[in-house]
Amino acid sequence: MKLLWIFRAIFLIVVVAVVFVNISAPIMATDEEGVVSEGVYRANLRAIIISSIGMAVFVLLLDVLTPKKQLSALAGVFFGLLVGILISWALAPVVDMIKDTYSINVNPAGIAAIKWVLGICVCYLTISIIMRTKDDVRFVIPYVEFAKQTKGARPLILDTSAIIDGRIVDLCQSKLFDAPLVVPRFVLNELQLIADSADKLKRNRGRRGLDILNKMQTDPVIDVEIDDSVLAEVEEVKGVDQKLMMFSKAFNGRLATTDYNLSKVARVREVDVVNINDLANSLKVVALPGETMEVKIIKPGEEAEQGIGYLDDGTMVVVEGARNKIGRELIISITSSLQTSAGKMIFGKFEGFVQETNSSGNGRRKSYNKRTVRSNTSGNNRNRS
């Protein structure tokens, strides 16, 4: 959108420059017989200024008040310029007809200046319309279409799960994906609703997603944009998942997600999917046994003595011996991990509590209150599914 406003500013500067150059020319004060006349100059000055201001204000208002869409490819600018020149050439005789019909006292130099301004306004308007309505050009002119992307750089359409997961940032920073990232407006709205949720876990996930999205926007390596396009086929369907599939089809993009069910449905609908979990599984990115981590137990597990916690990215952590420690922050040692298309699960055993104490001058700090680890072979061989 900044490019469009820069284009509008350049348009105004060009109009003012053309008007100034023409009204400053000595020929503006001469009539058709070549006689210099103050009356002729004033008539030309009024005609040029009034027509220029009128046309410039009209096309600017028409452009600004038209519903906005995304900027199109640079080819649309050249096509719009070509169409504008043809329309200007067709409208030039109309200016002469108006002068002769209403007997307006304007010399040929003034008429030429008005035609210049008319041509600039028409070219600006055609370029602006094509830049904002490129997807509909093919319905007006068959076989003419301005694609937003090429075959080698199909954009990745991100859903809320891929944003909250956060691994897409590392993948883009490592140059594994060189395609632009697109976040539809309805995905951003869903992310905001999650961040405003009354549930603390959902609220933390939503805020994490917004932080990750802000990080991607400020990273010079990552090409990400918020797409405000309003497509009829997308607005007709209900549900964010259905909108994502229709949006991906409309933009010929690939859907990036960590949602297992959405991946399956998208493949049935013949939408290309990049499942971050499948990619992570192929790269064997797993937690190593023996490592320690901190986790807060949220609810009891399916098996006896099991407690369930979640990491910031939503990864489920199953802890042995933590069923009676709900609401406490624990330090655990990882025993194993499982990576599937549905997500990642980490299994561990309770090692100690994470206690927060006040230290004078240093604020809050964490200390580990470890317990003696007893052998519990039966607990380590429980069902981990």
Instruction: Please enumerate in sequence order all residues whose Cβ is within 8 A of that of 121, keeping only pairs 6 or more positions apart, or say none.
Output: 15, 55, 56, 58, 59
One-letter amino acid at 53 equals I
β-sheet bridge partners, residue 357? 365
pTM of the model: 0.44
- Domains of the chain, by residue range, sit at 2-140, 151-282, 292-380
β-sheet bridge partners, residue 254? 156
How far is it, in rounded angstroms, from Cα 253 to Cα 177? 13
- Going 49 to 13 to 8 to 76, the CA torsion angle's sign is positive
Two structure tokens written together for 352:
């100690």
Spatial CA neighbour of 135 closest among 179, 69, 183: 69
Q: What is the per-residue pLDDT across 244-298, written as a single tens digit (0 to 9) for each?
A: 998 888 888 899 998 889 889 988 888 888 888 888 777 654 577 888 889 999 9
Q: What is the per-residue pLDDT across 157-200, written as a single tens digit (0 to 9) for each?
A: 999 999 998 888 888 888 777 788 899 989 999 999 999 988 88
One-letter amino acid at 259 equals D
Spatial CA neighbour of 19 closest among 84, 116, 108: 116
Decide: helix, strand or coil at residue 112.
helix
How far is it, in rounded angstroms, from Cα 338 to Cα 244? 28
How far is it, in rounded angstroms, from Cα 109 to Cα 21? 12
How far is it, in rounded angstroms, from Cα 59 to Cα 128? 10
* Class of the CATH domain delimited by 292-380: mainly beta
- Fold (CATH) for 151-282: Rossmann fold (3.40.50)
